[in-house]
Every structure is written in structure tokens, then in C-alpha cells.
Amino acid sequence: MKRCAICFLSVFLSLFFSCTQKSSTNQNEIVIGEVGSMTGSEATFGVATHRGIELAVSQINAKGGIKGKTLRVISLDDQGKPDEAATATMRLITQNKVIAILGEVASSRSIAMAPIAQTHKVPMISPSSTNPKVTEIGSHIFRVCFIDPFQGSVMAQFAKDSLKLDKVAILRDVRNDYSVGLADYFTKTFTAKKGKIVLDQSYSAGDIDFKSQLTAIRAQKPQAIFVPGYYTEVGLIARQAKELGIKVPLLGGDGWDSPKLTEIAGSAIHGSYFSNHYSTEDQALHVQAFIKDFKDAYGVTPDGLAALGYDAAKVLAAALERASELNSEEITRAIAQTSNFQGVTGNITIDANRNTVKSAVVLKVAATGFKYLETIRP
């Protein structure tokens, strides 16, 4: 009997909350949406981004909000699945009536979301999707990060000019638009610089055994292996490479950026290198202020995802403040006009293709964390 009453109460409460969530037309609020991988094998991407967004929004509201209104974010978890990301986007637009969307991190999921945002003319800003296809989807799709033709050339340049390597193998995730693109862009620059790709192997996200690819790669004696994947698989690949006696460093891109990378790989990943959007060693005052505020709020050092989530939210907020009216056309126009915005991840100017041109940093994975090595400018 008691149990029944509790059931009843919880059904009532959840109905009540979902109703209050849906009625987002409170006059004193501006409601935006967020889609991210809060759970699943890329959970640190979604959680870190969410925290960055949340920190930005709390700072904005503490200073009086936007046009005198409170900024509210409705965040939905896509579990790291493109179809869930698309469903979440549809729900934010049709049910929650959000006026803009932040997300996703992973390019494959942004590519699934963007056509929906574009069709409904709801501006979307991806904090961190780097594949060129994302913003090509349409006039309402933006990003505040650099793109992969640049990121691929950064790591190829680093391999050739800084590490002086001539022979590199590739291990790419064929189910991930980001990974495929980055592998191709790396190849383009590395071979243009007279480097040789000795073998190009593939895996699929979710795989756990990479031994046959790594054995084939080992036979070609590369001086490094470029693995443009996400941290869960890269961590396992590093471990298995070590088990197979492979001693050369791994090279990668921003998809490595997670505290879980070293948790999974252990010391097998030490001495490897990846490109990223920011370094915690950047001494600029506004960067250190962000790091301090983030640590105070969450007790951990913000990674690149957190920094990009923070920047994306601030860019959107600044655009909402500048927009002459809070309608789709004016908000989209204001975002497109973003110019020289001082972000934690660099200065942000949205270009004619709705992308951002920014420097990248190369980090080395060490026992003490990700160490800053160099900055490569566009």
C-alpha cells in the first residue's frame, strides 16, 4: 500500500517536472538547448562540455543575464549515439522551443543534428566538432573551434618538422567522420612533405581488440602511429601496442583529450603526442581565471572540451545580447558577426563559412599530465 503511494507520488512528480520543463515560455527566461554525450564511452566529452557551459551560464546570470532575462539551458544526453542526438535536437526545438542549440562535441553527432537545426532555422553552435562537413550543412550551423584540414596538417607538420619522422602508420576509426577526415588530412600534408605512410589500418568504434592491425603495423616498422580516434579506443590501442613490443610514439588529435585516456592506457601512452585546442599552461590572465573558477566549481582541472563549452556558451550569450531581437534571423546574424571574441581557447572570429580560424597546441602525454610543447598557427 505504502509502496503504491510512493509510486503514485513519483509518477506525479515526474509528470509535474516534465510539464514545467516543457513550458519554457517564461517571459523572464531565455531558453537554449544543449546536446551531449553525458553517458557512454565518450562521457567525459559531454560532461566536461556541460560543465563549461554551466559555468559560463552561471557567470552570465550572476551579472544580470541577457537583456535582463535569465539564461536557462536544457541539456539532453545522447549517450554518444548520432540517432539519439538527432532525436534530442528535434525535442529541444519542437517541445522545449529553444532559440539556439549548443552541441555536439563529436562530428558524427553534429552531422546528425545539424540538418534538423537548419530546417527549423534554429542556430546551432558546435563547441568542438572539427570535421568540415558540420558547418557545410547550412547557414545556421556554426563552430568555435578550428577544423580538421588544419588539425591534420598541424600533426603532420609536427611529425615531419619537429620529430623529424619520415615513416608513419595510421590506425583510423572508420565509423567516425572525424577520424576518417583527420587521417586523410594528415596523410595529405605528411606526403606533401615527402613523408611516407607505410600502412593505413582501420577499426570501428566499440572494438576492443586491435592486435591484428597493430601486428600488421609493427611489420612495417613505422617511426610513429597516427591514431585519430577517441580516448576509449586510443587507450586500449596504446596498451596493446605496448604488449606487442611496439615502442614508437602514438600521435593523435583532440579526440584524445580526456582524463580517462591515461586511466585506460596507463604508462603505455606516456611519450605520445596530440594536438588540442588549449593548454592549461597558458598563462594569459583570462585563461588562468577560467581554470580557477572551474576548479572552484568542480574540483578538477578543465580539459579542452570544458574550455570550448565555456567559449561556445559565451559567444552565444554575447550574440544574444547584441541581437536586435531574439528571433532566429537576428540571433543567427549576430552569431555570424562574432569578431575577435576573447575566448579561453583563443580569439574567436566566425568566418564566412561559419568556422573559426585558431591556433592549435601540441601536447605531450607525460606521467604528470599533458605537457605543452608548441603552438602552431594557421
Least separation in angstroms between CB 255 and ligand PHE: 4
Burial annotation 302-326 (CB, 10 A radius, 16+ → b, else e)? bbbbbbbbbbbbbbbbbbbeebeee
In this complex, which beta carbon is closest to ligand PHE, that of residue 165 or of residue 234?
Answer: 234
Q: Is 131 in the site for ligand PHE (CB under 6 A)?
A: yes
**What string marks each residue from 171 to 210 as x (binds ligand PHE by CB under 6 A) or -?**
-------x--------------------------------
Contact 148, 178 (CB under 8 A): yes
Minimal CB distance to ligand PHE: which residue? Answer: 178
Name 257's Cβ contacts closer than 8 Å, sequence gap at least 6. Answer: 231, 274, 276, 277, 303, 304, 305, 370
User: CA 146, CA 128: separation in Å to the nearest integer?
Assistant: 8
Of the candidate spans 19-27, 61-69, 128-136, 212-220, the one that interacts with ligand PHE by CB under 6 A turns out to be 128-136
User: CA 193, CA 187: separation in Å to the nearest integer?
Assistant: 10
Q: Is 233 in the site for ligand PHE (CB under 6 A)?
A: no
Name 279's Cβ contacts closer than 8 Å, sequence gap at least 6. Answer: 361, 363, 370, 372
Least separation in angstroms between CB 126 and ligand PHE: 8
Least separation in angstroms between CB 268 and ligand PHE: 20
Cis peptide before 29, with omega less than 30 degrees from 0? no
**168 strand-pairing partners:** 197, 224
**What string marks each residue from 300 to 329 as x (binds ligand PHE by CB under 6 A) or -?**
----xx------------------------
Q: Which of 254, 246, 307, 248 is nearest to 276 (CA)?
A: 254
User: Which residue among 30, 35, 45, 82 contacts ligand PHE (CB under 6 A)?
Assistant: 45
**What residue type is assigned to position 248 of the chain?**
V
In this complex, which beta carbon is closest to ligand PHE, that of residue 329 or of residue 351?
Answer: 351
In this complex, which beta carbon is closest to ligand PHE, that of residue 157 or of residue 275?
Answer: 275
In this complex, which beta carbon is closest to ligand PHE, that of residue 101 or of residue 199?
Answer: 101
Burial-class residue 288 by CB neighbours within 10 Å (0-12, 13-18, 19+). Answer: middle
Burial-class residue 219 by CB neighbours within 10 Å (0-12, 13-18, 19+). Answer: exposed
User: Which residue among 128, 201, 213, 275 contacts ligand PHE (CB under 6 A)?
Assistant: 128
Least separation in angstroms between CB 358 and ligand PHE: 12
Binders of ligand PHE among 88-127, rule CB under 6 A?
Answer: 105-107
**28 strand-pairing partners:** none
Q: Is 130 in the site for ligand PHE (CB under 6 A)?
A: yes
In this complex, which beta carbon is closest to ligand PHE, that of residue 130 or of residue 153?
Answer: 130
In this complex, which beta carbon is closest to ligand PHE, that of residue 222 or of residue 228?
Answer: 228
Task: Quickly tell me which residue has 585516456 as its cell.
Answer: 261
User: CA 141, CA 151: separation in Å to the nearest integer?
Assistant: 20
**What string marks each residue from 252 to 281 as x (binds ligand PHE by CB under 6 A) or -?**
--xx-x------------------------
In this complex, which beta carbon is closest to ligand PHE, that of residue 287 or of residue 323?
Answer: 287
Least separation in angstroms between CB 106 and ligand PHE: 4
Q: What is the DSSP string of 300-318?
A: S---HHHHHHHHHHHHHHH
User: Which residue among 24, 89, 96, 129 contacts ligand PHE (CB under 6 A)?
Assistant: 129
Q: Give the binding site for ligand PHE (CB under 6 A).
A: 45, 105-107, 128-131, 178, 254-255, 257, 304-305
